[in-house]
């Protein structure tokens, strides 16, 4: 995992990862997760696995989380590659504010994963962050409404799909593949007049994984 305090740092880290990627487009994920009980149980207990599982397929950034060496007085919230990590609320809010300033996305206060495209521009080898087809998933709401069984489940799906991305709009492709059979099931449910709550759940899943334009 990498530490980022600003969009300029984010671009630098993503630009570095492009050196090991044959593609010139990739998905970047900003995970806004304060270290509450949900984050601890669903994310931090497995963050070392997520860090090693994602590898070069997708860049996830756990906003506000950093090695303890940067702020020795902060409590340890997780361990990554054998190193103690803490949560810095100042760093968290710096990137939250900047994300809200440069996009139309707004943080709800929940645990949110924002997926968006990053492009390596041919003319100057600079990284462009594109929020025109972004996916914002409220992980707490998704689990409470039984749209996902666990964060591990949706993360694993995201990692697997990221390994097979073939288009130059990876988040749009991710959205379509996440919806996948859900859309087919919704259509079948409507055809056979199944219970309204079943239809509503499938419709919510389509909405959950759909893209939004957060560009300013």
pLDDT of the residue at 184: 37
Tracing tokens 């939004």 back to the chain, one arrives at 212
Tracing tokens 């959205």 back to the chain, one arrives at 175
Q: How far is CA 98 from the centre of its chain?
A: 17
Q: At what angle do helices 170-191 and 151-162 cross, to 10 degrees?
A: 120
pLDDT of the residue at 139: 93
Judged against a pLDDT cut of 80, whether residue 207 lies above it is answered with: no
pLDDT of the residue at 182: 45
Judged against a pLDDT cut of 60, whether residue 127 lies above it is answered with: yes
- CB burial of residue 43 (10 Å; 0-12, 13-18, 19+): buried
Indicate the helix (H) or strand (E) that contains 42. helix 37-42
Summarize the confidence of residues 94-121 as an average pLDDT.
Answer: 95
Kindly state the greatest CA–CA separation across the chain: 60
What is the distance in angstroms between the CA of the first residue and the CA of the last residue of the chain? 28
What is the 8-class DSSP label of residue 118? E
**pLDDT tens sequence across 5-36:** 888 899 999 988 887 777 789 999 999 999 99
């Amino acid at each position: 995992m990498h530490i980022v305090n600003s969009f300029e740092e984010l671009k630098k880290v993503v630009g570095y990862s492009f050196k090991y990627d044959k593609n010139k487009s990739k998905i970047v994920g900003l995970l806004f997760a304060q270290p509450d009980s949900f984050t601890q149980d669903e994310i931090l207990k497995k963050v070392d696995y997520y860090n090693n599982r994602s590898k070069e397929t997708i860049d996830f950034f756990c906003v506000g989380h950093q090695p303890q060496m940067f702020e020795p007085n902060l409590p340890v919230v997780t361990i990554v590659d054998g190193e103690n990590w803490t949560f810095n609320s100042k760093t968290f809010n710096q990137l939250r504010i900047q994300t809200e300033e440069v996009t139309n996305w707004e943080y709800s206060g929940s645990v949110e994963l924002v997926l968006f495209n990053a492009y390596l521009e041919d003319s100057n080898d600079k990284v462009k962050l594109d929020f025109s087809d972004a996916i914002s998933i409220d992980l707490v709401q998704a689990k409470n409404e039984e749209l996902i069984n666990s964060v591990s489940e949706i993360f694993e799906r995201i990692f697997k799909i990221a390994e097979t991305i073939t288009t130059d709009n990876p988040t749009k492709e991710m959205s379509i593949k996440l919806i996948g059979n859900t859309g087919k099931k919704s259509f079948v449910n409507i055809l056979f007049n199944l219970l309204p709550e079943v239809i509503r759940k499938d419709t919510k899943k389509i909405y959950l994984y759909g893209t939004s334009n957060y560009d300013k």
